[in-house]
Amino acid sequence: MPVSVDDPEAFVAKHFIDDGIPIKSFTSYSWKITEYSKQPKRVKSGSFTGGDYKWSMTLHPRQVEEGGNDRVSIYLQCQGPKQWPQGSHVCVQWAFAISNPRDGTCYIAEDIRYRFTDDQGYGFPEFAKLKDLTSPHGSRTKPLIENDETRVTAFVQVLEDETGVLWRDFVNWNSKKETGYVTLNREGATCHINPLLQSLFFTNYFRKAVYEIPTEHDGADSVASAIQRLFYQMQTSSESVVTGELTKSLRWKSLDDSPPHVVQDFLRVLQQKLQSQMKGTRADGAFQHLFAGRRIKNLKCTEVDYECSQEEIFYGIQLDVKNSDGRPLKTLAESLKAYVTPGTVEGKNKYHTGGKHGLQDAKKRTIFLEFPPVLHLHLKRFEYNLQTDKQVKINDPLEYPFQLDLAPYLDESSAAKADWNYRLHSVLLHSGDVQGGNYSALIKPHPELRWYKFDDDRVIPVTDRDVLKSGTDPSKNAYMLVYVRETEAAAILAPISETDIPKHLESRRKEEQEELEGKEREREKSDLYLSIEIVTVETFRAHQGFDLALSDDNTIPPPELPTFPVVKQKLYLEFKSTVARDLGYEPDQIRLWPLFEPENRPRTAVPENDRTLTMESVCGEMAPASHDLKFYLEVIDATRNEEPAEPGERQLMIFAKYFDVVDQTLAGIGHFYVKEYQRASEMIPVINSQMKFPANTRLKLFEVRISPLRSVCGNRAREDSACTPENHFHGYGNAGWGIICFQIELSDKELDNLGRQRLYLDPVSFYDFLANRVMVRFKPRHDHMAKTDEFDLTLSKTLTYSQMAHRIGERLQHDPTQLRFTDSSKAILRPSFPDVGRYSFWIPKSGSMHDVVDKLSQISTMAKFPKNSNQKIKLFTFHNGQIEKEFSGHELLTDVSDLENLYATVDTAVNAAQYDPVAIRKMLQFVTKLNVDGTNYEAWFRALGSILGMATGKVKILTSTDPTISGAEDLIIRQTIAASVDDALVSTVLEAESGVAAFAEIQKRYTSASRSEQVAIMKEIMQTRFKISDTTADIGCHFRAIKNLTGNLFKSGFELTKESLIGLFFHVSLPRLDALPFVNICRKIDARSRGVTGTISNDDLVRLARTELAQFHQHHIPALCEEGVQPITCSSSTSKCSNNKSRKSTEHHNCQTNNSNGSSK
């Protein structure tokens, strides 16, 4: 039956959402509008009452739009008091309906919710198109505006705001002020532990126990001290608290996409650390008292007289949200019942008794003896999906109660002894999927208080209804429930008093507060002061770097410049007098030149004719972007005899630097004044005199520009070009100053000798080093390397990897080929790359890696190369700082996981200019040469691969299936092998056709057939398919790929016979050769045939596979005993279980089990 606007109850039932929020009042109001077309742009209805408020509607009959699509707007206005009290609001759910004036079943409606905090209207700017109201539309048989009349009805529900935050926008929300509690900061990859820490914090008994641990003298790595400070800050801070100190002390690291069940691992680590620090203190045993329960794991054979039981301590229960057949469990009671319901161990999962009974069908069950006062229930929200080979999240709802009676799940004798009623204390929630999401907690700090929601941003009150709804809301799921036993709740949740808090926490907080206040005062003070640094001739002479001074270069120690803090309003002339007095001059003896960023060079001296000039004005005009300013202090030479300049010719200030080729130093010597058109060669006698060089010393002069650096006397290519009279300083005319660099002109023989020492021969190359130097800090990668101190080295960005490794090897006195470098944690350091692109595109699953390269070449400008270029795209996978696998291009996309990231880079062959034989020879000093008998072949091969990888930039260049090796790369391979083998083997290397062929000869001589390599190559051959649907696919290219792979098969030692081919096909057909049961077959075959080129017979191969399969089936049974739990000795029914007592006349058995992958626990 159609719903009519004249039936408010039916209308509300159809259009309103019922969230269970209590309704304070409901009203409906109908407004008839006549002469609709004549209404003004804005028309207001009469007033009506609802929930102690007056309401009205505002209608805009015709909002003009382009194209004639006029729209109708309608708003609801709350006519509250003229001045709404602060915090006053009313929450309303309402709907508007525009209907035919004579038929209430013909209407359109829209509903909305809003929190009114003032009398501003709220509603629908585009309620409907006007043309849809003036004629029948859709299923409506009548127009809503008929005979220029219509009817507008408002249905208004005023709702009860139980928490005071219903539909609030939380702008300027202060959690501490509004609730008394604070949030925990989301810090990188630790957000998943914040809800757990909040729950532990509000377990007051636990907080008191933590406070009782003596930590006054603990260091920064103390877990107890860190969690004490965290809890104290959560208790006293008015702002969000960070957890970094605790996670650092625990050495807790996890990924940003850590799933919720990782909190169990965190809780276990925290428990272990705290229990060790609680021993011998007042807090000793607190963890066990609060969180430890007891249970028995029991297993009883159904066909023979055998039973095994063991009692164990548990600190939490992992509950399924699905039963064994995949059906969702609807309630927590069902999940608990499923946990204690006996299960069957049969079929492939039969239990191994360890005695004469062998494998047997059995019944297993868990018997709870005692639940802890605080019970942690972990809901298993994640499972492994065999079809997708991924972890997936289970979003099925699971209802949980506020009160839980656990007596039905206890042993009958235990259940009758006490009251086992529990009350819900905390609910830990996760929204999202396996890859990430949001974590929050619902906590009731005390039975007499309300529930609160804690998330990353705020703490807000919530209703009981919200708490229970979280169990059925698929968008956010409970993954952990915390229940507190009612009989002990008063003690466990008792308030924390001042006497419970250690005194040293309060004193430390006061010290930190005073430190923060001091920093704040310093900041306020810095706003009134300027920091002025003075560059003098002495500091210029000591400066090794660009320009006159460079304070932001972290590769060198900062310059020790005289520094003067000065009030901004201080007069400049007073400041100048202060500087002169402190540095030993008279004020009229010095002149100050501001140094402008970023080049730190002077432009003009500060004018001294304005006696009202303040330091703030000087800074604003000459260093507007900084609170700091540098001045160059010029000591005026009163004895300098200046020649008069020509009309229009300027005097220029020229700073000079001396580059010492032998000492590899670059130091300033001072400044000179020259005329604008003075020749550069006229500076040479002045410099020789200043430096006390012989008068006939020949110098080479260079002009130092910001960029680039060029020689005054000619191009960089002409090292022997002499200064000509035409070279002058006119180019400095606009700036009024400049810098030149000079060096003593050396003979070709001297330059050759210095070049052999790898020294920089001119300031051009030395400045290039300065521009590319970077300070690199090297730290031990692992804790066990603590004896290796961290150190800093200044390196050039232009160094190759092998050159860097050699430098570090010299520093550590270690073989550079045995060093592995990894970058810093991404959470701390996020390097940027100048040419990086991320691309996503679709490729058919039947495609190959060649298709990926082709597609990448089409959409990426970085992958386009000139014709006849030797550059190409290299694809690889990358994990944990290492290249896992390189792709030749023939591999199918089906071999790559759907979630695998592919990396691409330009693969350019090494040329002769890049070949660094000196570095390779130095690295080979640490490599033991290959013996004639080949006893050290494997070690030699690894070292050789590392050196060649660094020298060529190609990982696994010796074993790659990619046949494209340049002539320079082959030369590197040949010479490296020749230098690293015994003298008796050198002729073999030199007589080979190529370096690759030389390695093949060495490999053939000292390696045996590798079954694992043969299987891998055969699998790749069988997976390589020609794409007939691809019109661009080259059949010749496909043939060459098969040919190369087949060649590699025979290189691996495979000898083709009918029997060997059958055996290899059989071996490849076995499933999952990288896991049990067949993972060990290749290893055992290689062990049998080591040192010979023989193979295994097919009969032996089948027997070996059958043996591995039988062992797998024998041990592949479900786990019973948990890790870390010592099993109780068990026997048949004629003897009883015990721990260490002796037995009489009965066979003893140990409770044994195996995990799913066959390894014993």
The Cα 262–Cα 246 span in angstroms is 16
The Cα 65–Cα 69 span in angstroms is 5
H or E stretch including 203? none
Is a pLDDT exceeding 70 seen at residue 3?
yes
Is a pLDDT exceeding 70 seen at residue 887?
yes
Q: Please state which CATH number belongs to domain 8-159.
A: 2.60.210.10
pLDDT in tens, 854-876: 888 777 765 555 555 556 777 87
What band does 392 get if pLDDT is binned at 50, 70 and 90? Answer: confident
Strands 71-79 and 23-33: unpaired
Two structure tokens written together for 824: 């810093």
> Which range has the worst mean pLDDT, 154-163, 790-799, 819-828, 1054-1063?
819-828
Q: What is the mean pLDDT of residues 1098-1103?
A: 83
Contact 223, 270 (CB under 8 A): yes
Can you say whether residue 347 is alpha, beta or left, with left for phi > 0 and alpha for psi between -120 and 50 degrees? left
The Cα 434–Cα 825 span in angstroms is 22
**Mean pLDDT over all residues of the chain?**
79
Domain layout of the chain by residue ranges: 8-159, 176-286+497-519, 292-492, 528-635, 651-757, 833-873+890-908, 916-1051
CATH 3.90.70.10 is the classification of domain 292-492: yes
Q: Which long-range CB contacts under 8 A does 494-499 form with residues at least 24 apart? A: 494/204, 494/205, 495/204, 495/446, 496/204, 496/207, 496/208, 496/211, 496/235
pLDDT in tens, 983-1004: 778 878 887 878 888 888 887 7
Instruction: State residue 1130's pLDDT score.
Output: 41
The Cα 866–Cα 883 span in angstroms is 28
Q: How many CA atoms lie within 13 A of 862 on its CB side?
A: 14
3-state SS track over 836-849: CCCCCCCCCCCCEH
H or E stretch including 590? strand 590-596
Contact 228, 215 (CB under 8 A): yes
Same CATH topology for 528-635 and 651-757: the answer is yes
What band does 1123 get if pLDDT is binned at 50, 70 and 90? Answer: very low
The Cα 1051–Cα 1048 span in angstroms is 5
Residue located via tokens 């056709």:
993
Strand partners, 728: 679
Is a pLDDT exceeding 60 seen at residue 262?
yes
Instruction: State residue 949's pLDDT score.
Output: 77
The Cα 881–Cα 930 span in angstroms is 30
Instruction: State residue 511's pLDDT score.
Output: 86
Is a pLDDT exceeding 60 seen at residue 99?
yes
3-state SS track over 22-37: CEEEEEEEEEEECCHH
| CATH fold for the domain made of 528-635 | Ubiquitin-like (UB roll) (3.10.20)
Tell me the CATH class for 651-757. alpha beta
| Percent of the chain at pLDDT exceeding 90 | 27
Of residues 956, 955, 957, 948, the one with CA closest to residue 920 = 948
Q: Rounded to 5 degrees, what are φ and ψ at 877?
A: -105, 150
Q: How many CA atoms lie within 13 A of 361 on its CB side?
A: 6
- According to DSSP, residue 424 is labeled E
What band does 735 get if pLDDT is binned at 50, 70 and 90? Answer: low
Q: How many CA atoms lie within 13 A of 659 on its CB side?
A: 26
Instruction: State residue 757's pLDDT score.
Output: 80
Q: What is the mean pLDDT of residues 261-281?
A: 85
pTM equals 0.56
| CATH fold for the domain made of 176-286+497-519 | Cathepsin B; Chain A (3.90.70)
Strand partners, 701: 742
Q: What is the mean pLDDT of residues 442-461?
A: 94
Burial class (CB in 10 A: 0-12, 13-18, 19+), 333: middle
Is a pLDDT exceeding 70 seen at residue 79?
yes
Q: Rounded to 5 degrees, what are φ and ψ at 699?
A: -120, 150
Is a pLDDT exceeding 50 seen at residue 1094?
no
Is a pLDDT exceeding 80 seen at residue 932?
no
Q: Which long-range CB contacts under 8 A does 809-818 form with residues at least 24 apart? A: 809/923, 809/926, 812/788, 814/926, 815/923, 815/926, 815/927, 815/943, 816/922, 816/923, 816/926, 817/923, 817/926, 817/927, 817/943, 817/946, 817/947, 817/950, 818/926, 818/943, 818/946
Whats the size of the chain, residue-wise?
1161
Q: What is the mean pLDDT of residues 727-739?
A: 61
pLDDT in tens, 54-63: 999 999 998 8
3-state SS track over 945-966: HHHHHHHHCCCCCCCCCCCCCC
pLDDT in tens, 216-232: 888 878 899 999 999 99
pLDDT in tens, 553-573: 555 656 678 888 888 888 989
